[in-house]
Amino acid sequence: MSEARERLRRLLLVVPYAVRHPGLRVEPLAERLGVEPATLRDDLDKLALVGRPPFSPDDFIDIYVEDDRVFVVLDQRFERPPRLTAPEAAALWASAQLLRPAARTALASAQEKLFAAVPESAREPFERLAERVGSEAAPMDELLEPLSRAAREGREVEFDYLAAGRDKSERRTVRPYAAYLHRGHWYLAGFCLVRQDDRLFRVDRIRSLLLTERTFRERKEVRAETGARSGVSARIRFSPTAAPWVRERFAEQAKALPDGGVEVELQGATRDWIVSYVLSFGGEAKVVEPAFLRDAVGETARRIVAAIG
């Protein structure tokens, strides 16, 4: 989209926001509008030149800054934002699809309201666009809705958890901090009362979930890259066959080997995760160190071979 159009679109929001928040300082107003304060000041200067015929003094927008605060005297009917365009609604809808497995109910009701906010002539284009942009939606609402609710309301949950590479599930009691999506997988971060430590759970390996009435207060800010992890490091070697994928995924972290393969140093992963990650390469990856992980992968592989018979 051209810069001029982008600016015009922004200008149509400045007056409504300033009307709605009279006397708000330049910086927080700019933040709400998603621009730098200097840009907002330029926008305000521009808006002061806008008016309608016959362009007598009272026909212009009267917006000004006093003591760093923004005031509107005459809004010339720009008191509310324009309706959503089809691309705006479609972009919003496409992003919302990310969280659909965790918030199907909320999104179903939001969709109707969103539809109402789009002018009639844009509804069909919006619907057609919505069929064209999206993301995968794992069928796990029965878990994700209660888990995110438990995190929001600060309630303990209990569930059976089958850790990757393990053959028995285990009952866990967890104080959930957050449910989040990362690289196509859903995780639950929380304090595990069984392990007495922060833990990360793959939601697709949870079953028999129970949302208890027991509440808790302590919260922790969670981010995927700092997520609760036990922090094992491992050196893994990939064959020349697997190398192109690994290079794409790890970029410069993948170090070239003389045989055409690559080596990657993984950090901050769990034992179980590394075992299943290496297995998922079907013989094209091997753990160089630490020895206990090499043994763990070997042990699992030997059990699989034995089970084939």
Partner 1 sequence: MDRTERLLDLIALFLDAKEPVSPAELREVFPDYGQCSKEAFERKFERDKSELAELGVNLDYQPPGNEELGGYRLRDGYYLPEVSFTPEELAVLFAAGSAALASGAFPGRADLGHALRKIAFGAPGGPVGGSPHLFAELGKATAEAGARLETLWGALLARKRVRLSYRALGRDEQTEREVDPWGMCLRRGVWILVGYCHLRQAERTFLVERIARVRVNDERLKSPDFEVPASFRISEVAAEQAWEHRFHPPVEVELQLSAELAPLASRLFPKAAVEAAGEGARVKVVATYLDALLRRVLPLGEGAKVLGSARALARFREMAEAVARHHAQPEEPR
Contact positions with partner 1 (CB under 8 A) in 136-175: 136-140, 148, 151-152, 162, 164-169
Residue 290 lies near partner 1 (rule: CB under 8 A): no
- Interaction between residue 181 and partner 1 (CB under 8 A): yes
Query: Which structure tokens are listed for 168?
Result: 């028995």
Residue 231 beta carbon to partner 1: minimum distance, rounded to whole angstroms: 19
Instruction: Tell me the window of 65-73, 112-120, 193-201, 209-217 that interacts with partner 1 (CB under 8 A).
Output: 112-120
* Residue 204: Cβ-neighbour burial (10 angstroms; 0-12, 13-18, 19+): middle
Q: To which residue do tokens 């393990």 refer?
A: 166
- Tokens at residue 299, please? 């042990």
Between the alpha carbon of residue 265 and those of residues 36, 172, 262, the distances in Å are 40, 31, 10
Name the residue nearer to partner 1 (CB basis): 99 or 228.
99
Binding positions for partner 1, 16-45, rule CB under 8 A: 16-17, 20, 28, 31-34
Tell me how far apart the alpha carbons of residues 167 and 223 are, in angstroms, rounded to a whole number.
Answer: 29
Q: Which amino acid is at 228?
A: A
- Comparing CB distances to partner 1, the nearer of 66 and 168 is 168
Minimum distance from CB of 187 to partner 1 (Å)? 9
HSE-up of residue 95 (Cα within 13 Å, Cβ side): 5
For partner 1, which stretch binds (CB under 8 A), given 64-72, 120-128, 192-200, 263-271? 120-128
Among 26, 65, 98, 192, binds partner 1 (CB under 8 A): 98
Contact segment (CB under 8 A) with partner 1 among 48-56, 62-70, 191-199, 261-269 equals: 48-56
* Least distance to partner 1, CB of residue 61, Å: 8
- What residues contact 226, with CB distance under 8 A and at least 6 apart? none
| Positions in 197-236 near partner 1 (CB under 8 A) | 204-205, 207, 219, 221-225
> Which of 26, 65, 110, 193 contacts partner 1 by CB under 8 A?
110
Count of residues of this chain found to bind partner 1 when the rule CB under 8 A is applied = 134
Distance of CA 28 to the CA centre of its chain: 24
Q: How far is the CB of 71 from partner 1 (least distance, A)?
A: 18
Least distance CB 167 / partner 1 (angstroms): 5
CA–CA separation, 56 and 45 (whole Å): 18
129 binds partner 1 (CB under 8 A): yes
Site string for partner 1, 239-258 (x = CB under 8 A): ----xxx-xx----------
CA–CA gap between residue 118 and residue 135 (Å, rounded) = 22
Compute the distance between CA of residue 175 and CA of residue 228 in angstroms, rounded to an integer: 13
Whether a cis peptide bond, with omega within 30° of 0, leads into 290 is yes
| Residue 19 to residue 76: CA distance in whole angstroms | 11
